Structure 1
Amino acid sequence: MKKWIVIALSCFLMASIIQGCGKNNSDTNAGAGKKDSGKPVELTFWGDWGGEGQKQFETMVDAFNKSQDKIRVKYELQQDMITKFLTASTAGASPDIMFWDRWRTNLYAPKNVLHPIDEYMERDGIKKEDYYDEALKELSYADKLYGLPLTVDARALFYNKKMFAEANLQPPANWDELQAAAKKLTKWNGNKLEVAGFSFSDPGLFNLYLQQAGGSMMNESNDATNFNNDKGLAVLNLWDRMLNQDKVYKTGFEQGLGEGTDAFVTGKLAMLYTGPWMLSTYKKYGKELDYGVVAPPKGPNGDQGSVMGGFGLVIAEGSKHKEEAWEFVKWWLANKDNYLMWSKMSLNIPGYKPALEDPFFKDDPDWKPFLETLEFAKIRPQHPGYSVMENDALIPNIQLFLEGKQDAATTLKKAQEQGDRLLKNNSAVK
């Protein structure tokens, strides 16, 4: 009798073990993203946008979290994000996903802190053709793709419609028309500039004009500057004519209007180059500011030019949940409806071209010139020292030129000499 009880008990325990194993296997295979405990995988999403940007990110995170029960994402606002990211990566405390200024890719991908997504793209049938090629190029290094574009932008020409109508002018389509319109719309009262015909407040726009002149910032080998030539001189000669002969602008004019005063909004400025990020601001003023936007005017030989910028989402190499991180990135940036939810809320141009077919973008005349511009806009050169060269060599010399302290030829020569030295000193990622 006792022997029978022992045998029965053994069989019962064996059946329980088998049943338990089957249950565990079922939980494990319930879907990628769940831990053995059955709890959702938790992901951290780092970004440095606070305020409205943070609310927009959190809205997307909440929508993703509600769309499934396997992954939970949390947005964490970070100040000095890049420094913290590099520290966290070496300390084993890396975030999973990051909001990423795309130009940084060629600086940090060589440090092995970002995870390539090419295999995920191929496996899940995500087409590169659905994204702006320049934006993907900016997210790439050594033939590997490290993220998908969240936004794309490029500067176009904003103009005051009322001023143009009163002066019987059409929006400029080339440099000659730009110069003529700026001259006609400028108003001086003695030695006081009351209305500037065109803004020269940003020396960093030299790259945009150089493209319009048919030039490029770097040589074909991408190891030296390429602006100390007739193309660069054409840009500075145009600026010289507009500033010193036509006097359409005065250095410091916009800053001199007082803190927080927008010269374009207040009718003190007839034209300026800026990006789609200003649309929401200008729209707030309604009839008080009747503005238009056109693609950047062409250069003397019909060349078009603008600089593409924007952000993306990347996966950290130190993430312990790369597959789940990819699911979040894919849900947001490879799904038309989800991408549109973000774009309509944030008023950013999507880097995902299928989303641009939506009437929100396709039928709004304010978006049209930016979409046209993005078709020919180029990213900044992909050299580890490019930003250092531009900030520490080119722009300071351009500023001296704008202030009348240095002629065009000297400006380009000094910028080249200093710039080439900085490029050489920063050619390797440290």
Structure 2
Amino acid sequence: MPMFTQRITAALAGATALSLALAGCGDSGGTSSSSGEAVTSLSILDYYNNEPDKSLVQKGLDACATKLGVTLQRETVPGADLIPKVLQQASSKTLPDVLMLDNPDVQQIAATGALAPLNDLGVSADGFTQGIVDATSHDGKLYGLAPVVNTIALFYNTKLLAEAGIQPPKTWDELRAAAKKLTKPGRYGIAFNANATYEGAWQFLPAMWTNGGDETDLTSPQVAEALQLWVDLVTSGSASKSVINWTQGDVKDQFVAGKAAMMVNGPWNIPSLNESPQVKWDVVQFPVNKPGQTPIAPLGGEAWTVPLNKDEAKQQKAADFVKCLSSDDNELAWAKARFTVPTRTALGPQYVKEVPSMKAFSEQVANARSRTGKLGEKWPDAAKVIYQAIQLALTGQASAQDAFKKASGS
């Protein structure tokens, strides 16, 4: 499951003050090797601290460690603790040799000067999904590679849609009509997350971006139209008023319990769905407002980076390790094990053939967009305006047309 940037906003508030200090760090906490001495170990920090992800990721890490002839000293921390720990380690010059970051965080950490440009270490992102390249690049330099990514799309209960004679919706009008028809006592037509966090903003992006809305102008008619879709679904009774409080986990629970016929959610829920055989489901890309539009959703997933290190041999070995993590074999192995999508576009057809349930997500990733692609370090500010506007509109405090102006204070 993607980790969202609400966990880093406060921590990064002090990052600017640390920028000059971090830029001058020039070394990490890995054990230094003298000139010419072979690098035999690498330290790693990531937030995959829960099972099964912790063990699944370890397999990929071990495969590359064996290939490169190194041992690993891996530390895992809860997601909320990662960025504060990174900032503390940067200031004390104890960063690991290899650092995992949620993709929206890469530009913010790169801007502090704590990361090594991978281009300078022989690592290329040629053949990777453009959205993840945008997310992990800063000032024209590549700072991270993500072996796998995820996104969100529209799950639907195949049995309920078939009983109602409804085809999976392809347009917003079809979505409204389907959700209304599927709504019965004790069951809503659709569930989604519209809470006052970055997760609520993340779930709104498919509607906003698909309709041509842009985070650089949140007061545009296209953005208002997208918000009106959310408002229509709630005010018509097709979605619960509780969406303003639900997490993505809550949305999944509603769907599994049969209390929602459709849901906007991500592939990290597939293992849980597979443990609920009573729920027959499938997935399609998020519907478009008008024919001819391309479904665009946000890109989730983690990138592996190399902190700056005065030990050039160790830094190069870390870069080789990051490159190995995104090899064809490793990407496919991680994608199949964790219901994620390989970032090397050429692997898409083979992956979908082997994991058919990921077809819609693989298609959605092809056009998925980085949240930081346009605003970079300023993305969290825009995300906050987005989720505040959603709250205003869904609680009747502002119209869809005025909510973003009110949320931004304009």
The TM-score bracket by the shorter chain reads 0.7 to 0.9
Contact 2:191/2:255 (CA < 8 Å) preserved in 1? no
| Residues 109, 243 of structure 1: alpha-carbon distance in 2 compared, 3 angstrom cutoff | same
Secondary structure (helix, strand or coil) at the match of 1:93 reads: coil
Instruction: Give the aligned partner of residue 138 of structure 1.
Output: 135
| Residues 319, 98 of structure 1: alpha-carbon distance in 2 compared, 3 angstrom cutoff | farther
Structure 1 gaps of 5+ residues are 1-32, 189-193, 219-225, 419-430
Counterpart residue type for residue 242 of structure 1: L
Structure 2 gaps of 5+ residues are 1-31, 195-199
Instruction: Give the aligned partner of residue 353 of structure 2.
Output: 362
Secondary structure (helix, strand or coil) at the match of 2:57 reads: helix
| Residues 137, 39 of structure 1: alpha-carbon distance in 2 compared, 3 angstrom cutoff | closer
Secondary structure (helix, strand or coil) at the match of 1:379 reads: coil
Contact 2:148/2:334 (CA < 8 Å) preserved in 1? no
- 2: CA distance, partners of 1:252 / 1:338: 40
Alignment of 1:109-120 (within 5 A): 109-120=110-121
Select between 259-268 and 303-312 the one with higher mean Cα deviation.
259-268
Alignment of 1:193-342 (within 5 A): 194-202=186-194, 203-204=200-201, 205-218=203-216, 226-244=217-235, 246-252=236-242, 262-286=253-277, 288-303=278-293, 304-318=295-309, 320=311, 321-333=314-326, 335-342=327-334
Tell me which of 156, 166, 172 is aligned to 1:169.
166
| Residues 104, 184 of structure 1: alpha-carbon distance in 2 compared, 3 angstrom cutoff | same
RMSD: 2.6
Aligned residues: 363
- 2: CA distance, partners of 1:383 / 1:95: 24
| Residues 301, 64 of structure 1: alpha-carbon distance in 2 compared, 3 angstrom cutoff | closer
Instruction: Give the aligned partner of residue 9 of structure 2.
Output: none
Contact 1:207/1:216 (CA < 8 Å) preserved in 2? no
Alignment of 1:33-112 (within 5 A): 40-52=39-51, 53-69=53-69, 71-79=70-78, 80-112=81-113
Counterpart residue type for residue 171 of structure 1: P
Counterpart residue type for residue 214 of structure 2: S
Counterpart residue type for residue 292 of structure 2: G
Contact 1:106/1:384 (CA < 8 Å) preserved in 2? yes
Contact 1:152/1:308 (CA < 8 Å) preserved in 2? yes
Contact 2:146/2:301 (CA < 8 Å) preserved in 1? yes
Contact 1:155/1:275 (CA < 8 Å) preserved in 2? yes
| Residues 412, 91 of structure 1: alpha-carbon distance in 2 compared, 3 angstrom cutoff | closer
Select between 295-304 and 42-51 the one with higher mean Cα deviation.
295-304
Contact 2:336/2:355 (CA < 8 Å) preserved in 1? no
| Residues 65, 363 of structure 1: alpha-carbon distance in 2 compared, 3 angstrom cutoff | closer
Cα-to-partner distance string for 1:345-398 (whole Å, 9 max, x where unaligned): 32321212343343x43343311111111122211133322213322x331231
Shift of 1:40: 4.9
Shift of 1:285: 1.5
| Residues 36, 384 of structure 1: alpha-carbon distance in 2 compared, 3 angstrom cutoff | closer
TM-score by length of structure 2 reads 0.81
Structure ID, larger Rg? 1
TM-score by length of structure 1 reads 0.78
Instruction: Give the aligned partner of residue 398 of structure 1.
Output: 390
| Residues 343, 268 of structure 1: alpha-carbon distance in 2 compared, 3 angstrom cutoff | same
Identity of aligned residues (%): 27
Contact 1:92/1:318 (CA < 8 Å) preserved in 2? no
Tell me which of 352, 356, 378 is aligned to 2:369.
378
